[in-house]
Structures are given as structure tokens and as C-alpha cells.
Amino acid sequence: MIQDSQSKIEKAGEYLRQAYQSHMTGQIDKAIELYTLSIGYHPTAEAFTFRGWAYSHEGKYDKAIEECIQAIEIDPAYGNPYNDIGVYLIEIGEYHEAERWLYKALDIEGYATPHFALYNLGRVYERQGKWFEAVKQYKKAFEVDPKFAVSEIAHERLRARLN
């Protein structure tokens, strides 16, 4: 029995890797199919989050959000789906709700990529016309990860516009 469950986990991991590769090469339908196979063998927060991300590439934001909610149910300490929900809500113009989810991502202890949530908060504030708050969030994102150049570019672009 243990060996059987271990083999399911391994198979799920292999499908997840294949799905991610397909996703990165723009084969979204194939990626969704492979993420689904992975989930069928062993559901993980990562597989649901990535499948949601794939759906977002098709403009299916409601479905993407549902996937992230399932990811959170599996692992509430995995920060990525909180950030991703925030991003999808930005895309549909739900800025206040997006802000709430992005702060939830930042509240996750050990969240590996808080610079994404900070950058996305900057996007929320910029779209709401809260320029100085947006600049602050872009700057924080760059301070957390100086290699995340998009946040520095956004920070400098908005600062220049305000001067």
C-alpha cells in the first residue's frame, strides 16, 4: 500500500513537471491536461495553482481563482495562490478585493516570493490613482529582490511621472 501511494506521488510529480514544461512553451491546453493528470494521481497546492495560472492565460479568471482556492484548501501556508488570486482580480478590475488577497500572501510566513505580492500591490494602487503608495510598494518589491527588475522599472517610471 505504501509503495502504491508512493508511485502515485511520483507519477503526479512527473505529470506536474511535464505540465510545467508544456506551459512554459505556450502549450496551454496540453499543460492543463497534464496538470489535471497530476491532480488525479496526487492533488497538490502547486498543481492546482499552476492549473489556475494556465486557465488565466485563456482569460478564464473565475476558473483560475477556483483553482487557487482549491490550492489553499490543500495547503493554506503556500503563498502563491493568494498572490495569483490577487493578480486575477486585478485583471478583472476588482482592486479592493485584489488588495485583500495580496496582503494575505504577505501574511504567509515563509512565502518564498513576497516581491510578487508587493509588486502587484503597487499595480493595484497605481490603477486606483494612489501614486505614492504604488511607488512605495514597487520600491519594497525591488528591495526584497533586487533581481526583480520589473519592480524597479515600475518604481522609476512612476516616480518620473510624479516629478
pLDDT tens, residue by residue, 129-138:
999 999 999 9
Q: What is the pLDDT of residue 161?
A: 87
pLDDT(3) > 70: no
Tell me how far apart the alpha carbons of residues 140 and 18 are, in angstroms, rounded to a whole number. Answer: 34
Does the structure show a pLDDT above 70 at 2?
A: no
Does 146 score more than 90 pLDDT?
A: yes
104 has a pLDDT exceeding 80: yes
Whose cell is 478564464? That residue is 60
Averaged over 15-27, what is the pLDDT?
Answer: 97
Task: Record the cell numbers describing residue 35, joined without a space.
Answer: 496538470
Q: What is the rounded average pLDDT of the residues 122-151?
A: 96
Whole-angstrom distance, CA of residue 67 vs CA of residue 64 = 5
Please say whether the beta carbons of 19 and 31 come within 8 A.
yes
What does the mean pLDDT of the chain come to? 95
Contact partners, residue 152, CB within 8 Å, separation at least 6: 138, 142, 146
- Name the strand (E) or helix (H) holding 90: helix 80-91
